[in-house]
Structure 1
Amino acid sequence: MHPSPAELARTIVAGHLPGTAHVSGHPGALPVRHVTDARGNVLLLSPRDGGLAAALRPSDGNDDTAMVLDVKDVPPIAGAPSLGRVWVVGWARALAGAEARAAALDYADIDATGDLLDVGDTQVLHRMDVAEIRYERHGTLHELDPDQYADATPDPLRAIEFDLLADLADHHVAQVAAYANRCLGPAARPGDQPRVVRLDRYGLVVRAGERLARLPFPAPVADRHELAHLLHPVLCRHCTA
């Protein structure tokens, strides 16, 4: 098993990566702080007197403004493949009152930044309702169905992927290499030292020389605890293969 394009898109725009906004009528791109809520709608946090808030201020009598959020994956370590790039197209509007307070709680679930305490004062939240999603990887562009995108969930390990990879590299190099070579079977080459360069709920991606290979899990994992339980027989020095 492997992540679907909709799951990859939700993972990239979840809020752990920097993004830029292209706002209708505004020249150039603007850096943004953002997360996505449970349905994949984008929440934008910015200073009330900043450039993004000014660009998103409607000037035609409407209460929302067309924009595109552009987010590119940043591989967690050298030699890791990119998950791709996502463009989210929609309309952003400023939130106030109870709606802003509820959105701030949703934002805090992903990024509990102290600036959320100033929403309604020096900070403003915009919600971007999603109309179109374009996901690109390896030169292939996917036009995603908004309902499938909304129903997908971000990968639960993405926010801690770097820490998990660092732990494997620091403490479990030999065990990982032995496990990968067993999984690769005849495809394993003498002298290669496979190492894990990416991981997600569905499995590990290992690099052996110039080659990349996916080692799937028996079933998707939901969190770090399930991952540790699954990998324990592989990584524990006192366990047999």
Structure 2
Amino acid sequence: MQPTHAEVARTLAAGHLPATAHIACRPGPLPVRHVTDAHGRVLLLSPRDGAVTAALSPAPGTDDTALVLDISDVPPVAGAPSLGRVWVSGWATLLAGDEARQAALDYADSDPASDLLDVGTTQVIHRMDVAEVRYERHGVLVEVDPDEFAEAEPDPLRAIEFDLITDLADHHVEEMAGYVRRQLGPAARPGDEPRVVRLDRYGFLVRLGARLARLSFPRPVADRHDLAHLLHPVLCGRCAHRDEAA
């Protein structure tokens, strides 16, 4: 099992990666702070008197502004492949009153930034209604349906992927190497030193020298606790030996 294009696009746009905005009829691009809410709409947080807010000021007679968000993956560790790049296009509208307060709460679900408390005074929130999503990886460009993008769930492990991989590298190298060799069987070459370089809800990617191998979980995991439960037999040597004996 692997994530769909819509799931990867939602993961990249979730808000943990840097983004730049190309705003219609404005110089740029401009760096922006953003998250994607539970409905797949992008929320932009910016200073009231800042360059982003000024650039998003609608033209006379309109109440929204067209823009494109450009977001590229940043691999968590050296030797890890990139998940690619996503462009999210749509129209941004400045929120006020109850809508702005609710948007701040929605924003805090993904990023509890302290300056969300200043929304309505020194900070503003724009909501971007998504019209088009394009996802690119290895030179292949895919159009993602906006409804599928909205319905997809971002990967629950992406924000903590670096911490998880670092923990495996610091404390469980031998256990993971043994597990990978058992799973790969004859495909594991002598001298290979398996190293986990990516993790997602469906499995993990292992680097073996110049090669990469993907190993899938028996089921998608829900969160860090669920992942720990699923990997416990792998990381607990005695459990692994007992299971093999059985």
Taking the aligned partners of 1:35 and 1:139, their CA distance within structure 2 comes to 26
Provide the rounded CA distance (Å) in 1 between the counterparts of 2:185 and 2:39: 41
Measure how far apart 1:119 and its partner are.
0.3
Whether 2:145 is the aligned partner of 1:145: answer: yes
Matches within 5 A, 1:110-149: 110-149=110-149
**TM-score, normalised by the number of residues in structure 1:** 0.99
What amino acid does structure 2 have at the position aligned with 1:109? D
1:63 maps to what in 2? Answer: 63
Amino acid at match of 1:200: D
Aligned to 2:221: 221
Shift of 1:184: 1.1
Which amino acid in structure 2 is aligned with residue 155 of structure 1?
A: D
Normalised to the residue count of structure 2, the TM-score between the two structures is 0.97
Matched residues in 1 for 2:11 and 2:223: separation? 14
- 1:237: Cα distance to partner? 2.5
SS in 2 for 1:238: helix
Report whether the alignment pairs 1:49 with 2:49: yes
Which structure 1 residue ranges, 4+ long, deviate > 6 Å from structure 2? Answer: none
Pair 1:9 & 2:15 matched: no
Matching residue's letter, 1:139: G
After superposition, give the CA deviation of every residue in 1:3-50 in whole Å (9 maximum; x if it has no partner).
000000000000000000000011120000000001211000000000
Is 1:88 equivalent to 2:88 in the alignment? yes
**Distance of 1:235 and 1:134 partners within structure 2:** 38
What RMSD over aligned residues (CA atoms) do the two structures have, in Å?
0.7
Distance 1:212 1:41 in 2: 34
Q: Does the residue aligned with 1:57 lie in a helix, a strand or coil?
A: coil
* 1:100 aligned residue: 100
- In structure 1, stretches of 5+ residues that fail to align are none
Report the Cα distance in structure 2 between the residues aligned to 1:58 and 1:148, rounded to whole angstroms.
Answer: 28
**Partner letter of residue 49 of structure 1?**
D
* 1:107 aligned counterpart, secondary structure: helix
Distance, in Å, in 2 between the alignment partners of 1:60 and 1:123 is 23
Counting matched residue pairs gives: 241
> Distance in 1 between the 2:28 and 2:100 partners?
27
Return the offset for 1:60.
2.7
1:194 matches 2:194: yes
The aligned residue for residue 158 of structure 2 is 158
Q: Percent identity?
A: 73
